[in-house]
Amino acid sequence: MARHRHNIGFMALDVIARRHGFSPWRQRFKGLVAEGMIGAQKIFALKPMTYMNASGESVQAAAAFFKIPPAEITVFHDELDLAPGKVRVKRGGGAAGHNGLRSMDQMLGTPDYWRVRMGIGHPGDKARVLGYVLGDFAKADMEWLLPCLDAVADEAPILASGGAENFMTRIALLTKDGPK
């Protein structure tokens, strides 16, 4: 399960937490929480341990406890509609069939949070999507995945300071925007 394409967001949080010296992960809010500083920003990282379609419960509980408004939440998630290794950041929008985002929209009452969309590519046939998303990354995927995760962690201070456009530009430059 840890290497599933659906878990690319958790993988990114793990690398960010390690790179920036966050506290150890501990169980809270139906998930795992680590905290640390990225630049001048105090960050709470959360990996919901609910089913994907109920992840909003975990996010809402943590946001309520720490008094974090939705506009200050950033979600890292897999994106079928982006080529492997491409990273895009946007605020708000629809769930586009992503059950975790749908759950968050419902529990937070708004889709007005930041989304770091991490491309995993599409299997080409809609009938193969479920198995593809829930399948493990292949060994060949490591050629783009590891540099992408490293770049996301390295450039996290830009994102934390509100520089979404610069963050995307730096990721694209560092990874040559995905596999060759």
Q: For residue 47, name the pLDDT band (cuts at 50, 70, 90).
A: very high
Q: Is residue 113 a part of any domain in this protein?
A: yes
Which residues participate in catalysis according to the annotation?
A: 6
Q: Is residue 180 a part of any domain in this protein?
A: no
Q: Is residue 24 a part of any domain in this protein?
A: yes
Q: How many domains, the chain?
A: 1
Is the Cβ–Cβ distance between 21 and 35 less than 8 Å? no
Q: Is residue 120 a part of any domain in this protein?
A: yes
User: Model pTM greater than 0.75?
Assistant: yes
Is the Cβ–Cβ distance between 159 and 116 less than 8 Å? yes
Assign residue 165 the CATH number of its domain. Answer: 3.40.50.1470
Q: Which domain holds residue 29?
A: 5-175
Please report, for residues 10, 11, 31, 46, the alpha-carbon distance to residue 5 in angstroms, rounded to integers and kept in the order given.
10, 10, 19, 18
Beta bridge partners of 77: 117
Q: Is residue 36 a part of any domain in this protein?
A: yes
Q: Is residue 171 a part of any domain in this protein?
A: yes
Q: Which amino acid is at 65?
A: F
| pLDDT tens, position by position, 134-143 | 899 999 999 9
| pLDDT tens, position by position, 73-128 | 999 999 999 999 999 999 988 877 777 888 999 999 888 999 999 999 998 888 99
Comparison of pLDDT for 19 and 6, the residue scoring more: 19
Q: Is residue 63 a part of any domain in this protein?
A: yes
Is the Cβ–Cβ distance between 169 and 159 less than 8 Å? no
Q: Is residue 16 a part of any domain in this protein?
A: yes
